Structure 1
Amino acid sequence: MLICDDDSGLLQGLSSLLLDFFSEARLSPPELALYNEGETLLQSELLPGDPRADIAFLDVEMPGLSGIDVGQRLMERNPYLKIFIVTSYADYLDDAMRFHVFRYLSKPIDRERLFRNMRDALTQLSMDTRPIVIETGDGAVTRFADEIMMVEADGRLTLVHTVDNTYPSPRKISHWERALALPSFYMTHRSFLVNMKYVSRFDQSTIDLGSPSGRVCRAYMARRRYKDFKNAYLTYVEVVH
């Protein structure tokens, strides 16, 4: 778990709160890696992809790279990382949400709010890393649920679009709706199941999705599902102040 803030008092205070959380939840305490600047974090050996680096707390205003810049680079390396942006200012909310931070926390850190969001983060991590078997015409491949941007019905096949590939599968889209029965997935149309994590724009007819690696996809929106999808999406990206 990573914490990066140029305020040594916050580093120690947040570390203590996190250890209290794991103790009260009767979970093994994580290894905490503390940094006072983003450059040092990015150059360290403890990089995302290491199982210890699954959650990061980043201050926005730091010398050198901002928490926004650091967060964007971390997400490029590990799309499963849950990022908490920590700041006294709300001016950075739009920038932070562009790369889908998990939560936006205000200073001083509220203990109960932190604990509630940590429970959500651990739950989401367990779902994101659920292995999904994608049957293809000549075999099968296993990917994590979080790597799937959307599923598209295409005649007798479905196209499973991941962050780096597209797999044609003989399985019907109803199969994928059951297999991906997770809070981040939503059926926007009878032919499209989208992962809300990757939504960058939507209106009453289309949804654009984009991954940190630059891959883009487009899905269609059934007009009658627009209102429910909008509510579901706003709930999904809800930030806690």
Structure 2
Amino acid sequence: MKIIICDDDSEIIQQITGFLDTITKQRKIYFDISSYNCGDDVIQNNEKFDIAFVDIEMPGIGGLTATKHLQDKNPNIIIFIVTSFQSYLDDAMALQVFRFLSKPLDKNRFMRNINLAIDIYQKSTQNIAVETHDKFYNIFTRDILYITIEKRKACVVTKDCKLQTQNNFEFWKKLLDEYDYFAQSHYSYIVNLKNVTNFSKTDITLSANGKNFEHIPISRRFYTSFKDSFQKYIGVTV
């Protein structure tokens, strides 16, 4: 698993690296870690990364610009913002980062959230076979935007296409129940929480590939459970 750390504080880089070493010993997961002290170096790097830890306030190019660059090059990257500056959080939220880690770093919170990120990464890179009337497709769970019902058939809508499947909606509901980043918002919609930009009591906005998918419905019956699932996903205690 490739990880990038960008922070102008070398002690923070050492601390994060030490925490990751502990995860390696506990879970036998090897991390290929690249570390940088400024956003300019991140912009010049075109490698693929799975997880990033990015400071916001740095010399030269700031952390928000560096984060956008990483997301453009790695659409499925899991981003941790590491900062002492709470005033930037609204801007960072718009980039759909995974977690905000305040300085000084709390080890227990760090370990809890990096373990969750690893679990999400491992699940999101699993393939699911989708059978249509004439073909089989292998897709990553992370590429699913939502599942819906059209003409009495369950449709899997990904970032790039819509597939009308041979399986019914209940099949997909049961299959995706083990993935804690999917939640039902309506009797005929299951949504990937990773792509949720915002939601109200009536609809949800999803974002993928720089596009917004608006008006995914959310019903009164499912609003509370959907909100709880979303808050759990982003690390808010419910």
Same fold (TM over 0.5): yes
Which residue in the other structure is 1:16 paired with? 18
Moved more, 229-238 or 186-195: 229-238
Gaps (5+ residues) in structure 2? none
Secondary structure of 1:183 counterpart: coil
State the one-letter code of the partner of 1:195.
N
CA distance in 1, matches of 2:223, 2:70: 32
CA contact (8 A) 1:4 1:57 kept: yes
Report the AA paired with residue 18 of structure 1: L
Q: For the residues of structure 2 that align with 1:14 and 1:230, how far apart are their CA atoms?
A: 31
Structure 1 consecutive aligned stretches of length 4 or more whose deviation exceeds 3 Å: none
TM-score where L is the length of structure 2: 0.90
Separation in 2, partners of 1:209, 1:155: 23
Counterpart of 1:236?
A: 233
Q: Secondary structure at the match of 1:171?
A: coil
Question: Could you tell me whether the CA contact under 8 Å between 2:203 and 2:214 is conserved in 1?
Answer: no
Aligned residues: 234
Q: 1:188 aligned to 2:190?
A: no
Greater mean deviation of Cα atoms: 12-21 or 87-96? 12-21
**1:28 shift after superposition:** 4.1
* Of 64, 72, 77, the match for 1:76: 72
Cα distance in 2 for partners of 1:20, 1:133 equals: 35
Structure 1 segments unaligned to the other structure (5+ residues) = none
- The change in CA–CA distance for 1:191 and 1:116 in structure 2 (over 3 A counts) is same
Kept in 2, the 8 Å contact 1:3–1:56? The answer is yes
Contact kept, 8 Å, 1:158 with 1:173, in 2: the verdict is yes
Distance 1:21 1:170 in 2: 41
Secondary structure of the 2:52 match is strand
Matches within 5 A, 1:39-78: 39-45=40-46, 47-48=47-48, 53-78=49-74
**Pairing 1:74-153 to 2, within 5 Å after superposition:** 74-153=70-149
Equivalent of residue 6 in structure 1, options 8, 13, 20: 8
**Is 2:161 the counterpart of 1:165?**
yes
